[in-house]
Chain A
Amino acid sequence: MTLLTEAPAPRAEKKTHQIRSKRNRREHRMGWLFVGPFGIVFLAFLVAPLGYALYLSLFQKKLVGGTSFVFLDNYTKAFTDPSFLSGSWFVIRFALVAIPLQIVVALAMALILDAVTSLFTRFSRLMIFLPYAIPTVIGAVMWGFLYSRSFGPLTDVFGLFGATAPDFLGSNLIFYGLLNIVTWQWAGYYMIILYAALQGIDPTLYEAARMDGAGRWQVAVRIKIPLITPALILILVFSLIGTLQFFNEPQILRYLAAGTIGADFTPNMYAYQQAFSLANFNYGSAISFALGGVVFVCVYAFLFFTRKRRSFL
């Protein structure tokens, strides 16, 4: 669990490892028998595709001369390709706003639900979590309807005040339109994770703090939030991975927001277009691999820098 933090553990484990393996040589075999089936799937559907993507990304297919080895040309092409760069820039901007927003909303809701107990809060907890059970595609379809000016409620609501409805599918507001969908979809899930962590805190700590004269706000900020830091890091990692591979929602809204969301709106959509619309598998693989690599490095670096905080890994 504390892979990145646990310094003394390996030594102790090594000792038991030696003693035990002497006592029971069968353990090696049995261990691999249990792990093996997963290992095969892991090699076939994670290691092999990654390796294959890397391999493919080093080639280019030309109309004349067939496929040739071009080493890193696809990557230099990607990092000077305006489509890839604008998509990446959008995803980075989006992540910088969406991730803090989701976490703050989720944390606030979790703290409220942890502090106030009533039938209504129990009901609220389930209702707030409900969007997680909705496929992201269906969530995007639902919000697409709500944003729609022809049959969504925005026209009515704004019409009451004599105002024109904002067009969340237009190029000016699509950022906020997507931000709203993502927050709606995931805040409840993150809230449940944080809530579970808050419920795991020993309540005697609050009693002690109250005797020392701490108010509710201070208890929340000084005790609750620091104690659930591992859970916060976990959801930060989840949201980072999810946001950087943004695909489903913009892909679905593309149909409704014709002209606003292009085929190169996010790097993942661009890779999809290259591979499946243009049959340009080498370049598509390069974009996929670059994206995967960037996500991996970002998340790993993040975990490395927060490892002192008892990260979840």
Chain B
Amino acid sequence: MADRTHAHAHRRPQRHLPLQILLGFLVVYFLVPFWWVVVNSSKDAPGLFGGGNTLWFGDQVDYLGNLQQLFTYDGGIYARWILNSTLYALAGGVGATVLAVMAGYGFAKYRFAARRFSFAVVLGALMVPATALVIPTFIMFSRLGLTNTIWAVILPSLLNPFGVYLMHVYARDAVPDEILDAARVDGAGEVRTFLQVALPLMRPAVVTVLLLSAVASWNNYFLPLAMLSDNRLFPVTVGLGLWQGVASANNSGSTSLWSLIILGALVSVIPLIVAFFGLQRYWRGGLSVGGLR
């Protein structure tokens, strides 16, 4: 039946021109900031401030020159920020995913003491705003001498209750108990059953959780802003925020910094856009898993 409706819809393509035009306007709206950044990162400071059309290229299109400036300014600090962001996103993302996958599987497949209570506590944690934790975590870390180190950013990123929730739902629905029991009867230990039988079945959800936690780490601003004072440890979000502050504070002397910020913003979003588009089929499946049934 479902197939028939599908075929039906294909035979008579529905155009709905007014809706498509409306969508066209929406797409323009969502793309305008990107367009502005792409166009204006080709300009030098005089081109940026010298009037002219702000939504079109100026007389000089100099991406290479600007890129060279971006990556050499202040001893190449920008490249360092990008590497830091990558490290925080990978370490935080992989760590949070490993923990979430194990916990979600444990909650879904084992009936242990205080399971229901613990899971309810994890769900409650979904409602605690992450930023409320930053100030006390900072004070705890400063007692331990951990502030202004990479661990101050990585360790708190390991906490991902939403990932546990996603993995729980997915493991419960996608990993049948019978298969696990069969593996045990065949003499596989619990760890081997998990690694070789359950884990492959959970792969789409694992990729989704990995992507979501890596993106959350990459996008994080409040936590590194609070934890780090050495700008050589900054992720790119905090770094660009710093430049923005410097450029606004003395808006006459540092006009060249503005063109660096614009190009820096553009370069910093490219890895994420590539990751999202490249892994599209995984996270789209994973989001629909998101327990939305």
Residues of A within 8 A of B (CB): 1, 3, 10, 13, 16-17, 20-21, 26-35, 37-39, 41-42, 44-46, 48-50, 52-53, 56, 109, 112-113, 115-118, 120-121, 123-124, 126-139, 141-146, 150-153, 155-156, 184, 188, 192-193, 196-197, 199-200, 202-204, 206-207, 228, 230-231, 234, 237, 241, 244-245, 247-248, 251-252, 255-256, 258, 268, 271-272, 275-276, 281, 284-285, 288-289, 291-292, 295-296, 299-300, 312-313
Within the complex, the shortest CB–CB distance from A300 to chain B, in Å, comes to: 6
Selected interface stretch from B28-36, B63-71, B75-83: B28-36
Pull 29 A–B residue pairs with CB atoms less than 8 Å apart, ordered by A.
A16-B111, A26-B190, A28-B112, A34-B110, A35-B102, A37-B98, A37-B102, A41-B158, A42-B125, A46-B159, A116-B20, A118-B20, A124-B26, A127-B27, A133-B269, A133-B276, A136-B219, A150-B49, A153-B36, A193-B290, A196-B284, A234-B292, A251-B221, A252-B241, A276-B226, A288-B134, A292-B129, A296-B127, A300-B124
Question: Is B116 on the interface with A (CB-CB < 8 A)?
Answer: yes
Across the interface, do B136 and A50 meet the contact criterion of CB distance under 8 Å?
A: yes
A172 to B218, CA, bound (A): 33
Residues in A whose Cβ lies below 8 Å from that of B36: 142, 145-146, 152-153
Known A31-B110, A153-B36, A288-B136; contact A245-B221, beta-carbon cutoff 8 A:
no
Across the interface, do B2 and A202 meet the contact criterion of CB distance under 8 Å?
A: yes
Known A134-B272, A146-B33, A312-B291; contact A34-B19, beta-carbon cutoff 8 A:
no
A76 to B221, CA, bound (A): 30
Across the interface, do A142 and B33 meet the contact criterion of CB distance under 8 Å?
A: yes
Across the interface, do A112 and B30 meet the contact criterion of CB distance under 8 Å?
A: no
Residues in A whose Cβ lies below 8 Å from that of B60: none
Selected from A37, A118, A245, the residue in CB contact (under 8 A) with B15 is A118
Across the interface, do B244 and A252 meet the contact criterion of CB distance under 8 Å?
A: yes
Apart from A30-B112, A247-B222, A275-B135: 15 A-B pairs, beta carbons within 8 A: A13-B116, A38-B100, A41-B99, A45-B155, A53-B136, A115-B16, A117-B14, A130-B34, A135-B218, A135-B272, A137-B221, A141-B244, A153-B54, A196-B287, A285-B136
Across the interface, do A128 and B249 meet the contact criterion of CB distance under 8 Å?
A: no
A10 to B169, CA, bound (A): 17
Across the interface, do A121 and B20 meet the contact criterion of CB distance under 8 Å?
A: yes
Across the interface, do B5 and A204 meet the contact criterion of CB distance under 8 Å?
A: yes
Within the complex, the shortest CB–CB distance from B88 to chain A, in Å, comes to: 12
> Which 9 interchain pairs have the tightest Cβ spacing?
A34-B106, A31-B112, A292-B132, A31-B110, A38-B103, A196-B288, A255-B248, A53-B136, A49-B136
Residues in B whose Cβ lies below 8 Å from that of A41: 99, 158-159
A141 to B113, CA, bound (A): 49
Across the interface, do B5 and A203 meet the contact criterion of CB distance under 8 Å?
A: yes
In B94-108, which residues have CB < 8 Å from any A CB? 98-100, 102-103, 105-107
Question: Is B23 on the interface with A (CB-CB < 8 A)?
Answer: yes
Residues in B whose Cβ lies below 8 Å from that of A130: 30-31, 34, 273
Residues in A whose Cβ lies below 8 Å from that of B20: 116, 118, 120-121
In B253-293, which residues have CB < 8 Å from any A CB? 258, 261-262, 265, 268-269, 272-273, 275-277, 280, 284, 287-288, 290-293
Across the interface, do B277 and A184 meet the contact criterion of CB distance under 8 Å?
A: no
Residues in A whose Cβ lies below 8 Å from that of B219: 135-137
A137 to B259, CA, bound (A): 17
Known A31-B112, A241-B127, A252-B244; contact A52-B136, beta-carbon cutoff 8 A:
yes
Selected from A37, A134, A145, the residue in CB contact (under 8 A) with B99 is A37
Residues in A whose Cβ lies below 8 Å from that of B148: none
A234 to B289, CA, bound (A): 13
A202 to B98, CA, bound (A): 34
Question: Is B182 on the interface with A (CB-CB < 8 A)?
Answer: no
Across the interface, do A245 and B129 meet the contact criterion of CB distance under 8 Å?
A: yes
Across the interface, do A131 and B164 meet the contact criterion of CB distance under 8 Å?
A: no
Question: Is B120 on the interface with A (CB-CB < 8 A)?
Answer: yes
Across the interface, do A245 and B130 meet the contact criterion of CB distance under 8 Å?
A: yes
Known A38-B100, A41-B159; contact A206-B5, beta-carbon cutoff 8 A:
yes
Across the interface, do A48 and B135 meet the contact criterion of CB distance under 8 Å?
A: no
Q: B237-250 toward A: CB 8 Å interface, digit per residue (1/0)?
A: 11011001101110
Selected from B48, B158, B194, B277, the residue in CB contact (under 8 A) with A45 is B158
Within the complex, the shortest CB–CB distance from B208 to chain A, in Å, comes to: 11
Within the complex, the shortest CB–CB distance from A180 to chain B, in Å, comes to: 9
A33 to B100, CA, bound (A): 13
Question: Is B115 on the interface with A (CB-CB < 8 A)?
Answer: yes
Known A50-B136, A153-B36; contact A137-B288, beta-carbon cutoff 8 A:
no
Question: Is B145 on the interface with A (CB-CB < 8 A)?
Answer: no
Residues in B whose Cβ lies below 8 Å from that of A156: 53-55
A170 to B249, CA, bound (A): 17
Selected from B9, B14, B131, B159, the residue in CB contact (under 8 A) with A247 is B131
